[in-house]
Structure 1
């Protein structure tokens, strides 16, 4: 080798080594510190933080202020980037650090007025209230960590500046979480278009009526009846359609923006949930058993941060969200609770009528009323700032202003939202719920949760079990169905007030000995319109729990959380398989139909039937409905009403009804001169299903297994850019379960393969005979700091359905301590 070449190679190797060494040092400096002693500004006394084998901090403080300040500090060292992303998302500030592709998201968040409302409510907080003081101490702990440590890796890569976290940031994030439950932007516009353009006959497939006895009772009636009940009477077609073509384009774009733009930030979105509790009379231990697995979109890091808090007179093992010191899920030796989404409709979309002589006025209550206006500036990385004009009518913010174009052609669409008009003292409510060891205390705390709508399922060691639907339920004019876009000029959007909390759906110590909540429409005397999930999942859980001979244990409860069976497939296929057997003659295809006929509806990874059914379900919906609703647009394409509809629960409800109705007008294709029948659509959907599965997985149906077709990847914001996906994303992992089964690894209806979008964010089981043996888990890991050892250490186990102990007893915490960190006041 020539001397100059040798010297060059040595120099290059030296530079690479130095670069690798520098990069390693840079990353190591940013890993969480879980041992030693650290001085923290603001502490009044030393605090001990013991970390267990999963990286969960067990915090012992001598006073409440130090307890919450320490929680903020340790939460920040594991999740500061998540906190920053949640703050920026909720306040419409993502484009400043992620660039112009996040500008539509920022515009949407600004138009929702989350930022403005949070600022006002933060200024009005009672600084002497214990809940406010706890929140401020927690934020002080976050800021103390941020001020004393190098910026996280993501901050450095994206150029994110440090700035203090405030109470307004926390309230902005709370507003985003309330918004993330809403389905109105996807569902209301599509149903309105079907009503106005297609007519009542097309609406018969959609179940729009309130069921006073609740969806579980309705599901039992349908399951024992021959066929499906008669379709719900549809709302009559208005004399003149409310929405013009430009309005429909605006609403379709809003639906897609609401659904997809948020995914760019990889911030968890709340989707559904399971929770149930059995009384001591139904358990082997003689004490209540509480189970809960909130369904939230998957991301890295996961939504929950676990921590065990102890100070004089207070103890709680909690699951905490970013920038919130009040546990949203929690338990101790005396009580515990879980949450599901109520799914009540707390957002009305209102089409305003503009004064032809003055575009700044709209018709309200028979007279022209001025719109208010203000402007906000959005910073955009690499580009000039963007000025956004925000308008507001008496009904609420003009949400259509979130779109860059179309305002001149379409009428203003306002948004009435409980979150913006109810007092909603949620910080105080959850502060009290974290301490609610009696039925009366829990009920009183839950009454303070106005938005978002939540089902709180609660139990204690004294044997009480309860469920409350927590929400301010608005009073609406008689005959108004908020599933449609409302006419602001006719009083449809008027709200005389709110119903009292006492009329909300709720139960305390029911005689049946158990309570189940699974996002289904609950039984209630006072109707609560909403976007409820299918009743199949709730019915599956209810049927298992009602067995009077079963004495539940923690193990059998966890097994029910992992159940993968549903009756939904049978409901869809029952009227269709006889016709398909007549239409399909090829032996290989007959064998596939036989698989579907014998399939019990389990979504297990080794089976091929779930893959076949899910693809057929999509093709059936597309072949029947896409021609009326603008075709299907996949990600990145211009939105259509059908592409928004397939992301809603409304379509899930419609498909069994459609399948059973051979005379539905949906079967006829509008773009052909012939009149198609259900048989014609079935043949086309079946052929499309087989063609797609063969092209995607190969010609051998044995290779179409659910585990191959159905996978989970936890995405990180930086993981959207290759090759960073290999570093920051976690997965893909094959997972069982599916849409609306108890083990609800799920996503929108679409073509195979299916990337799971949301599912169990934790699986908790607490037997109150031994709460110190509670089980839980995290979908990825405690830490959001790559490549910390707790960044992804629970991912594979969670995908397999495994849980781990959530240590509560002192002897267990001491025995399981992996390291101890001492936080002390500055000397």
Structure 2
């Protein structure tokens, strides 16, 4: 017995020692991958010495003697801090995420392959102008030199995540940057997803279903979707949306979850200084690290500083000495879903405009970590690629014996968008920026500009021209064999800079929205005659919900202060307490208040109660609040109050009854989660920004270490956006928001400020992994300066690059 005890003791001690050794080795190799910012490297690819000065916030200030050398150093800096993120973005564009993420990444890979994002990016390389091709090549050389330095110096593979994934890091290619831009463009447009949802609504409720997604600019009388395919049979509708999929950190290719944002500017006559102001916040799905990375470049045209995306040599929002700019998406309908009929008995042919035509086909293999490799057949028609995985609901609207193709401006193989954006970045004036933006294809953008003496907006991108007799009006999927379905042309958005008469320029366009944020921002800016940097910051951080202010007086009109006082502890008393709080509320979605939580839960329950009996399981897929629809129902616009009557019941319900029932349902659910005291509830307890790591965020233990979770103010329609998910066990989680904020003051440029949502480094052991997250949450900023002496005085390290012999 004593001998057995001794052996058990030895075994236990041995196992403990092995665990300690494994921990020490893991720590050692992880630490090895931390970049050293104070270093000297001999590299190939530059013509003269380059200096990278890291400011206190780890913002690289790059000084070189040529633009190509500066872009080389930017590529190296991006790779130092964000190599794993860059590799994930590249894989997402290539359709190769499943090689490291396993089967759950298969749908995203399948779609990226069918869209041919990477093939089209490679083809578009020749469409770039010479300076852009040189910049892309220099940038790629910089990334690759860091990969070489990591390999030669045994620097832990460049990021600790690479130890956990069976990943080979290929050298960076210029086309990789173009592919990432195409990936973001595909994720920005909501046009195709909205068409599919409208068609599903039309099938579920033919008479009035599409009222739910009514938008300005849509055809007044949309046809019934089933009438577009007379005689065709549709399959049984199913609930297609996976609530977890929309927040999956590998889901970079999900419509409407990429770039969004606000930008606004004031001319000198509307500012306290003697020049212009510009504020920009770029909205994106919240991840850790943030999609954005701050950098300063000293180019031949002058110094510029602002927000980049690792993987691309672009500053999307920033300033130089005489010009500040910011991109926001232009909400245009740039895509159509086209339904193609497959020839009966011959699945290799489809019905073209001149008869049965062979698909253009090819096969590709998707390799899957931990699963079987998948061989997929890619098919393309004259209208575009066949995309069965474009949207979870696409099968519901695709007739039996048909397939769906996508026509989208971003599928161009001669896409000069990168050159256009780089030309705009280098422009010294609004006129030069306008000339550059004529080459934008996709995504379509609105660029807000502030020069020293005036502000303006310019749009860039291609807008489809549709036939006047287009069968779906461009708002529904349409038969691909009809001549009327074809686009008659593509019209450039770009024109002369638009200078606002008021001296205030506002751009706040996001696909699928009702213009509420734009209206709130315009009103807020119009209330002051003169603005300062601080007033612009206050507007940027505004958390008043225009949707709440518009809907609550309508929805609660017949509920305020009605009925006899109820006894404490009863459900009637809870409703009265909730209504009393909302009656005095100004609509501010503050994390410290109970009113935003009551409002959000009430509106979610109310919308669901209005639509579920008509739409059935499809109601689960309506995850966003539709204020325009709710307004129409409670004003009975066009007889929309019909939605308040529950079809399955014998009684005829009115909207007041439905509103009261929805409020009771919301209070019941909130009481189960937060207790019975309505006044003790807090919006921040339910509304938390979840910055999820794209590789390790879903792993139980590592996710707790890698992810960042913070309670935040704001909501879906506030200027300081923190968008809601709408379903699952955390229905009020903030899944997207301002990944970057900046306010640029050209009267005193060095007082300009900016911030990103996490930190500059993607390395979890770096102090710069999350050092900016607290500032971001509190609405604070870091100083932005182009003064090289200020950067050097507060540097955390300087990297010197010299040409190798």
1:178 pairs with one of 180, 185, 197? 185
CA distance in 2, matches of 1:203, 1:671: 21
1:303 pairs with one of 273, 288, 291? 291
**Is contact 1:418–1:472 with CA below 8 Å preserved after alignment?**
yes
Partner of 1:440: 431
SS in 1 for 2:181: helix
Partner of 1:513: 503
CA distance in 2, matches of 1:815, 1:302: 27
Partner of 1:568: 547
CA distance in 1, matches of 2:562, 2:666: 15
Partner of 1:490: 482
1:40 is the counterpart of 2:43 = yes
1:793 is the counterpart of 2:771 = yes
Partner of 2:569: none
1:749 pairs with one of 726, 729, 734? 726
Partner of 1:119: 122
Partner of 2:628: 653
- The alpha carbon displacement at 1:76 in A equals 0.2
CA distance in 1, matches of 2:469, 2:399: 32
1:761 is the counterpart of 2:739 = yes
TM-score, reference length from structure 2: 0.91
CA distance in 1, matches of 2:211, 2:417: 39
Q: How does 1:714-793 map to 2 (within 5 A)?
A: 714-716=691-693, 717-731=695-709, 733-750=710-727, 753-793=731-771
Q: How does 1:601-612 map to 2 (within 5 A)?
A: 601-612=587-598
Post-superposition CA distance 1:402-436 (Å, at most 9, x none): 69996994621111000113733012112211211
- The alpha carbon displacement at 1:13 in A equals 5.2
Q: 761-770 vs 200-209, which deviates more?
A: 200-209
Q: How does 1:149-298 map to 2 (within 5 A)?
A: 149=150, 150-151=156-157, 152-210=159-217, 233-237=220-224, 240=227, 242=229, 246=234, 249=237, 253=240, 260=246, 263-265=249-251, 269-298=257-286
1:63 pairs with one of 66, 70, 77? 66
CA distance in 1, matches of 2:646, 2:796: 65
Structure 1's 802 and 3: CA in aligned 2 closer, same or farther, altered over 3 A?
Answer: same
Structure 1's 36 and 190: CA in aligned 2 closer, same or farther, altered over 3 A?
Answer: closer
Post-superposition CA distance 1:533-568 (Å, at most 9, x none): 222211111112223x53111111101111111331
Structure 1's 314 and 578: CA in aligned 2 closer, same or farther, altered over 3 A?
Answer: closer
- The alpha carbon displacement at 1:303 in A equals 0.8
CA distance in 2, matches of 1:567, 1:313: 42
Partner of 2:384: 396
Q: 257-266 vs 691-700, which deviates more?
A: 257-266
Post-superposition CA distance 1:149-206 (Å, at most 9, x none): 1412111111101211112222221111001112134321221233344234444454
Structure 1's 311 and 278: CA in aligned 2 closer, same or farther, altered over 3 A?
Answer: closer
Structure 1's 671 and 700: CA in aligned 2 closer, same or farther, altered over 3 A?
Answer: same
CA distance in 1, matches of 2:747, 2:360: 58
**Is contact 1:73–1:142 with CA below 8 Å preserved after alignment?**
yes
- The alpha carbon displacement at 1:292 in A equals 0.3
CA distance in 2, matches of 1:393, 1:74: 42
Structure 1's 248 and 34: CA in aligned 2 closer, same or farther, altered over 3 A?
Answer: farther
- The alpha carbon displacement at 1:678 in A equals 2.5
1:386 pairs with one of 347, 366, 374? 374
Q: 263-272 vs 602-611, which deviates more?
A: 263-272
CA distance in 1, matches of 2:648, 2:185: 41
2:580 pairs with one of 575, 578, 594? 594
CA distance in 2, matches of 1:674, 1:564: 40
**Is contact 1:125–1:132 with CA below 8 Å preserved after alignment?**
no
> What is the number of residues matched between the two proteins?
777
Q: How does 1:796-811 map to 2 (within 5 A)?
A: 796-811=774-789
Partner of 1:226: none
Q: 351-360 vs 754-763, which deviates more?
A: 351-360
SS in 1 for 2:696: helix
Structure 1's 581 and 546: CA in aligned 2 closer, same or farther, altered over 3 A?
Answer: closer
CA distance in 1, matches of 2:184, 2:733: 23
- The alpha carbon displacement at 1:444 in A equals 0.8
CA distance in 1, matches of 2:384, 2:523: 43
Post-superposition CA distance 1:61-100 (Å, at most 9, x none): 1222221111111110100000110011111101111111
1:102 pairs with one of 93, 98, 105? 105
Partner of 1:217: none
1:535 is the counterpart of 2:520 = no
Post-superposition CA distance 1:102-160 (Å, at most 9, x none): 111111111222122123223x356x811101111100111111122141211111110
TM-score, reference length from structure 1: 0.88
CA distance in 2, matches of 1:489, 1:258: 37
Q: 363-372 vs 576-585, which deviates more?
A: 576-585
Structure 1's 339 and 245: CA in aligned 2 closer, same or farther, altered over 3 A?
Answer: farther
CA distance in 2, matches of 1:204, 1:121: 40
**Is contact 2:124–2:414 with CA below 8 Å preserved after alignment?**
no
Partner of 1:222: none
Structure 1's 311 and 445: CA in aligned 2 closer, same or farther, altered over 3 A?
Answer: closer
1:454 pairs with one of 434, 440, 445? 445
